[in-house]
Amino acid sequence: FFRVANPFLLFLLSILTEKIKNEYRLAIEYASQGSLRGLLDRGEWLSLEHVIRLARDIVRGLCFLHADYPTSNKPSIAHRDVKPENILIRSDGSACLSDFGQATVLDSRTSDEARTNSRTDHVTSNTTSTVSTSHGMNLEAVPKAGTLRYMAPEILDGAIQFTGCSILCTDIYSLALCLWELLTAVAVYPTPVDLGHCDSNPRVADLSNLSSGARISDAHRRVWLPYERELGRHGLDPEELRHLVSFRKHRPCPSDAWFESPASEILLGDFHFVPLCCCVLLTS
C-alpha cells in the first residue's frame, strides 16, 4: 500500500493487517450524507449550482487520481469502477471518490505485475507539482473490472490490450454516465410554469399529476439509470448492453429541458464534444 492525498478522495485514517487471514481492514472517514446513488434515488430535484459543485468535486478527484506526479512519487491511477455508489458526500456537501479495490497503478517505473495487480488505498496531502503524462506503456492482460452498466464499450468488447491512457479513458466514460445522471436531477423550472403533461420525456420527470402553475420542485422526479429506458433496470444482459453501446454506438441523450436556462446552455452548449473536454470545463 502507499498513500496519496487529495480532498476529493475519501480519506484513509489507518490500516490494520490480518496476516493470518491475509486481509486488510481500513479505517476511513465518515461521509455523513451517504453516496451519490442515495442522493439520486431519493428523487428530489437539485439546483444546477448544486449539481455543478458535485460534478466539479468528482472531476477534480478523478483528475488527481489520473495525474502522474513524479516528484511526489504519485503515479497515475485508474479507478476502474466509477459509479454513483462509489461517490460519497460529506457533511459539508462536498463529494469524494471512494472504493479503490479495483484500481490499477499505471507506473512505468514498476514491474508489469505491480502495474496490473496494484491496489491503492488512499491519499494524505495535496500535491501541487507539475503533472507529467506518461501513459504510453502497455499493460498486458489487465483483468476486466467495473460495474456492467458503467463499463466502457471497449471493455464490453472484451479488449484486454490497453495502453495506460486507454484505461484512463474508460474511467472518463463511466464519469460521463455519472454526470448524465446528475444532470437529469436538475430542476429546470425554478419558477411557476404551465407544466401540462410535460412527462413525454421520462428522463426528465413524471409531471402528469401536476396542475397548471405548479412548480417542478413540488414533484418527485422519475429516477433513471443509464440505458434503463432501453434495457431495463434489473437483470441487465451483458450482450444486449454490448450491442447497444458498442455496436449501435448508443449513448444517453440530453433532454431539451437542459437547454432552457442560460446557465445550462453554458455547460451543455456542445453536449457531444469529447468527454475529456468536459473535465477541463468543470475544473476551470
Q: What is the pLDDT confidence band of residue 165, given thresholds at 50, 70 and 90?
A: confident
Q: Which of 17-21, 68-72, 81-85, 188-192 holds the top average pLDDT? A: 81-85
Cα–chain center distance at 228: 17
Catalytic residue among 57, 68, 81, 107: 81
Residue 81 annotated to the active site = yes
Over the stretch 171-220, which tens digit does the pLDDT of each residue have? 999 999 999 999 888 876 554 333 333 333 433 334 343 333 334 545 67
Cell 402553475 belongs to 213
Mention the CATH class of domain 12-283.
Answer: mainly alpha
> What is the pLDDT averaged over residues 145-163?
83
pLDDT at 12: 86
Determine the Cα–Cα distance for residues 77 and 100; give it in Å rounded to an integer: 10
Residue spans of the domains in the chain: they are 12-283
Whether pLDDT at 21 is above 50: yes
pLDDT at 263: 56
> What is the pLDDT averaged over residues 132-148?
56
Whether pLDDT at 72 is above 80: yes
Contact 202, 222 (CB under 8 A): yes
pLDDT at 143: 57
pLDDT at 160: 57
> What is the pLDDT averaged over residues 19-48?
88
Of 158-162, 183-187, 261-265, where does mean pLDDT reach its minimum?
261-265
> What is the pLDDT averaged over residues 223-249?
94
Which amino acid would we find at residue 257? A
Q: Which of 85-94, 98-107, 115-124, 219-228 holds the top average pLDDT? A: 85-94
Determine the Cα–Cα distance for residues 55 and 213; give it in Å rounded to an integer: 31
DSSP 235-279: S--HHHHHIIIIIS---PPPPGGGGSSHHHHHHHTTTTS-HHHHH
Of residues 63 and 129, more confidence is placed in: 63
Contact 94, 7 (CB under 8 A): yes
Over the stretch 107-132, which tens digit does the pLDDT of each residue have? 654 434 333 443 333 333 333 333 33
Cell of 96: 469524494
Contact 46, 85 (CB under 8 A): no
pLDDT at 73: 84
pLDDT at 210: 36
Determine the Cα–Cα distance for residues 108 and 263; give it in Å rounded to an integer: 42
